[in-house]
Amino acid sequence: MVDAYRKSEGTLCKRWLKIHAAPHATMPVHLNVRQIREALYAEIGTRAKLPEPSVRQRLAGRLFHECFAALILSLSESPEHRQGRWTSGLLEQELYERHFGPRLIEHLVHFRNDTRCVRDFWTSCHNMCVWLAGLMESAETSRAELVFHPEEAFSMELSMPHWSDTVMLSGVADLVVRFETIPYWCLVELKFSQGLPELDLAQACLYHMMAQKALPAPVGKLALVRFSPEPSETLFDEKDLFGVRIRLIEWIGKLAGVRNARFQGLTKAPEPCNEKIVEQAGRIEEIFHEYGLQVRRGGEPIPGPCFIRYPIRLGKGVKIGAVQKTAAEIQHRLGVETPPFIHLSEGQVFVDLQRPDRQIIHFRDVLGQLRKSGIGRGCSRIMLGVDLFNRLHTADLAQPEHAHFLIAGTTGSGKTEWLRAALAGLIATNSPKTLRLVIIDPKRNGFSDLQGSPFLWNDSALVYPDEQPAADVLAVLADEMDRRYRRFEQVQVEHLDAYNQTHDPPLPRIVCVCDEYADLINRDREERKTIEARINRLGQKARSAGIHLLIATQHPSRQIVRGTLDANLPARIGFKMNRDIESKMVLNQRGAEHLLGAGDMLFKSIGEVKRLQAPLMRPEERLRFFAGNFYRD
C-alpha cells in the first residue's frame, strides 16, 4: 500500500518539500480534506472501476463518525471512564440510547427502505465499542489515563518553491489520543466500511501532516482503524508516510491549480480582499478576545457576491456555541445591518458577514452552467443557487435524497423567486416531451405567466384552489403514479429513467409545485386530512415514477411541518426566517434566522448545510421561459 506512493527519489523530494507560510502569497487557494478525498476518489476509483458509495452509505458513514465523537465526549466527562469501568456492553448501551437511536429516528426518511445499510451501520458501531473497550482496558492495565481529543480541527499553509501560490488546507481528524505517561500523540483515522487502501492512507496522511504543525507534543504513530466488514487496525510511522506525503503534496498542487497554470483547479479564485475587509477580520478577532474567547483568524477572508466569509480557529476549550452567542455583539460593534452567521462547514468555523455592496446574481449569468442530459432524455437536475465562487449547485430529482423539496421562508425572503428560477432551469434543459408541470398557486399571482405554456401537464394544471380543489389534483397525480407503475411492471423496469431509455415517446417527468402550503391546509379540517394523505402517498412512492413535489410555506410551524411534510420531503431549503425555532423545524439546526433575505438560502439534504444565493429572474426572462417562447425559439 505504501510502496504505491514511493516513486519519487527521497533526496530530490527533500529539496522540493517546504511547508510554511509563503511570504509571496497574495490569495491562498483553500482546500479541505473532503474535497481532496473526493477528487482522489474520482481519479483512483475510475481507474480501478469501483462504484461510488451510495448516498445512504455516505450518510451512514457521517452519522457513524458523529456517534463516535459524541461517545468519546461522554466517556471523557464520566467518572466511570476515570475509574476504568466501561465494558463493551456498557459502551453499546450508552451509544445506542444516547446517540445511535436518536440519529436513526431523525434520518428515518432516508433509511426506512434500506435495512442492510442500517445493519452495517450498527455492526460498525458494535465493533467500535469493542475496540474502545480494549483501548481503555490497556490503559487501566498500564495505570495510565487516556487523553482523548475527538474531531480535532487542523489547518496549515502548504507551499512548494515551484508553486505560484500557497494552499490553505483544513480538516477535522477523527481522533487524537495518547496515554498520559507517554509524550507522543497517536492520530487515529476511523473507517466505517471497506474502501480503497491508497485513498484511506492519503487522507490519514493529510491529517498527520497538519497535526505535526499544530500539536504541542510530537505526533507518533498513525493508526488506520476499520470497523466493517471486519474490524482491523494498521499502524504507520514517520518513515512509512514520507513517500506518501511527497506524492500527495504534488498532487494537491496540481488540484489547486498552483503547480501548472494550464491546469483547471477545483476552486475559482475569489475577488481580492481590500484593506477594509482585512481590517474587519482583525476587528472580529479583537471582539472575540474582549469577550474572553481565544479565537484567531483561520485564513484569508473570502468575499462572495452577498457576504464575506471570515475563517476562524477556536482555541482549546472554546465551544462553537459560545462563539455563536456573540453574533449580536459583533453586529453592534461593527455597526452592520444584520448579525453575522457563525457556523461550522467542512471542518472549519466561519463568520459570514453581509457585504455593504451586495451583488445580484442574475439567472442569465448562471444558465450556462446547467447541464443537459441529451436529446430526448431530458434533465432531472434542478437549480439551487451559487456559492462564494459563483459556482452553480444543482440537485438531481431522480435521486432519493432530492426527490421532493420543502421550501420555507418569510415574506420577501425569495421563496417564490427561487421556485420560478428552478422551474425556468428545468424548462431550459427539457422539452415538453420530457417535462410537465403542475402548479398549485393559492396566491394566484406567482405563476400566472405559465398560463398556456406547453410545459403544463394539461389545460387545468395551473391550479387556483378556490376554483379547483388541490386534493383532486393530487389524487389525479396519484392515479398517474399507479398507471406508470403498471406500465413499468409490464416492460420489467423499475423507474422512469430505465423506461425512457428503451421507449419512445418518453414519459415526461412531472414536477408539482405548491407555493403556499399553509394557506392550502388551513381552509378546512377534512380537506387538510385528504391533502396530507395524498402527499404522504406521493412522497413515499412517486419518485421512481418520475413525479416530484416542491412544497413551499412561509409559516414553518410545528403544526405545518411535523408529520406529513417532515417524513416525506427529504430535501430542504430555508430562506430568511423570523425565529430560530422555525429554522430548526425545517433544517434541524439554527441559522436561517440570520440570513439576509432576497434569495440568501441554506440547502440541506444528506450532509452539511450549504449556504447559497438564489439567482434572480427579470420579468422579461420569466415571460420568455414560462410562456414557452424559449422552447419555441
Residue numbers in the known binding site for ATP are 409-416
Q: Report the alpha-carbon distance of residue 353 to residue 339 in Å, rounded.
A: 7
Q: Report the alpha-carbon distance of residue 270 to residue 389 in Å, rounded.
A: 6
In the block, residue with C-alpha cell 456559492: 387
List the grid coordinates of 26: 497574495
Q: Report the alpha-carbon distance of residue 569 to residue 574 in Å, rounded.
A: 13
Distances in Å between the Cα of 632 and the Cα atoms of 347, 368, 432, 433 are: 47, 19, 11, 13
- 600, 589, 73: which is closest to 344 by C-alpha? 589
Helices first, then strands: H and E counts in the chain: 24, 21
Helix, strand or coil for residue 232? Answer: strand
| Amino acid present at 292 | G
Please state, as a whole number, how many other Cβ atoms lie within 10 Å of the Cβ of residue 164. Answer: 16
In the block, residue with C-alpha cell 471523557: 76
Q: Report the alpha-carbon distance of residue 380 to residue 161 in Å, rounded.
A: 45
| Amino acid present at 104 | L
Q: Which residues are annotated as a binding site?
A: 409-416
- 424, 538, 451: which is closest to 460 by C-alpha? 451
Q: Report the alpha-carbon distance of residue 372 to residue 470 in Å, rounded.
A: 32
Q: Report the alpha-carbon distance of residue 314 to residue 329 in Å, rounded.
A: 18
Q: What is the CA radius of gyration of the chain?
A: 26
Helix, strand or coil for residue 345? Answer: strand
Helix H, strand E, coil C: the string for 358-379 is: CCCCEHHHHHHHCCCCCCCCCC
Distances in Å between the Cα of 588 and the Cα atoms of 1, 110, 408, 473, 557 are: 41, 15, 13, 31, 13
Rounded to the nearest 5 degrees, what angle is found at the Cα of 549, between the Cα atoms of 547 and 554? 170
Beta strands (DSSP E) in 180-283 are 185-191, 219-226, 232-236
> In this structure, are residues 188 and 316 in contact, taking their beta carbons and an 8 Å threshold?
no
The alpha carbon of residue 135 and the mean position of all alpha carbons in its chain are separated, in whole angstroms, by 33
> In this structure, are residues 308 and 302 in contact, taking their beta carbons and an 8 Å threshold?
yes
In sequence order, the 6+-apart residues with CB closer than 8 A to the CB of 316 are 294
Helix (H) or strand (E) holding 386: strand 381-386
Q: Report the alpha-carbon distance of residue 386 to residue 408 in Å, rounded.
A: 18
What is the β-pairing status of strands 232-236 and 219-226?
A: antiparallel
